[in-house]
A and B are shown apart, each in its own frame.
Chain A
Amino acid sequence: EPEVTQTPSHQVTQMGQEVILRCVPISNHLYFYWYRQILGQKVEFLVSFYNNEISEKSEIFDDQFSVERPDGSNFTLKIRSTKLEDSAMYFCASSEAWQGARGNTIYFGEGSWLTVV
């Protein structure tokens, strides 16, 4: 079964450093997302990406965050200057369609656990 893959599975970084989290969405999917989940808390939407541009972003997704689709398969999340509160599990996800279609499920990757020290 096709799946979303993410690397690294776990990264420890020092405060202020830049981090890039990588994702390979399911190949025929057109919509890509980043979510995060702070330990013990709810899943939070960060950003959605379609047709090589951001379609929506949340308040969390400030100027420190950026996303890119550098080639036909990868989708990356960059945090420019990490803060302690950025420590969380970051999930990449993808879906075939966005609006209304029945069963347009969002499929999640296994997550990248980011620890900022």
Chain B
Amino acid sequence: GQNIDQPTEMTATEGAIVQINCTYQTSGFNGLFWYQQHAGEAPTFLSYNVLDGLEEKGRFSSFLSRSKGYSYLLLKELQMKDSASYLCAVRDGSNYQLIWGAGTKLIIKP
């Protein structure tokens, strides 16, 4: 079956670094997305990985290992505005639908 696993909630301190993990089991693979979603708002795009390795974009980086079915989102120099849910989504290679994880709620404390 199709499954994406992320921790439900994480807490981190302002200025620190946090890593949010995502593991997936899908029938195919054609890319992995990370989205940020503030409560009551639309998801906004953060990163896209289709090849193994690290993609860096400012304070955010995303890593992918296709052989392990694993990705992480790394957030550096955390700010209070980073408090949000972080959604991992995998594009299924067989039908190209996006399969979504339940999201990780990140709480930033001063």
- A and B: bona fide binding partners: yes
Interface 9-residue window, one of A66-74, A80-88, A99-107: A99-107
Cβ contacts under 8 Å, A100 to chain B: 30-31, 50
Cβ contacts under 8 Å, A102 to chain B: 48, 50
Establish whether residues B100 and A99, one from each chain, have CB atoms under 8 Å apart when the complex forms.
no
Q: How many A-B residue pairs have CB under 8 A?
A: 47
The number of chain A residues touching the other chain, given as a range, is 20 to 34
Contact with A along B38-55 (1 / 0, CB 8 A): 001111110010100000
Cβ contacts under 8 Å, A108 to chain B: 42-44
Chain A residue at smallest Cβ distance from B43: A108
Tell me whether chain B's interface is mostly helix, strand or loop, or mixed.
loop
Residue in B44, B89, B96, B102 whose CB lies within 8 Å of A98: B96
Establish whether residues A42 and B48, one from each chain, have CB atoms under 8 Å apart when the complex forms.
no
Interface residues contributed by chain B, number (CB under 8 Å): 22
**Smallest Cβ distance from A94 to chain B, in angstroms?**
12
Tell me whether chain A's interface is mostly helix, strand or loop, or mixed.
loop
Given contacts A45-B97, A56-B96, A100-B30, contact A111 B48 (CB under 8 A): no
Establish whether residues A91 and B48, one from each chain, have CB atoms under 8 Å apart when the complex forms.
no
Residue in B30, B33, B87, B97 whose CB lies within 8 Å of A58: B97
Apart from A108-B42, A108-B44: 4 A-B pairs, beta carbons within 8 A: A43-B100, A103-B48, A108-B43, A110-B42
A interface residues with partner B (beta carbon < 8 Å): 41-45, 48, 56, 58, 89, 91, 98-100, 102-103, 105-111
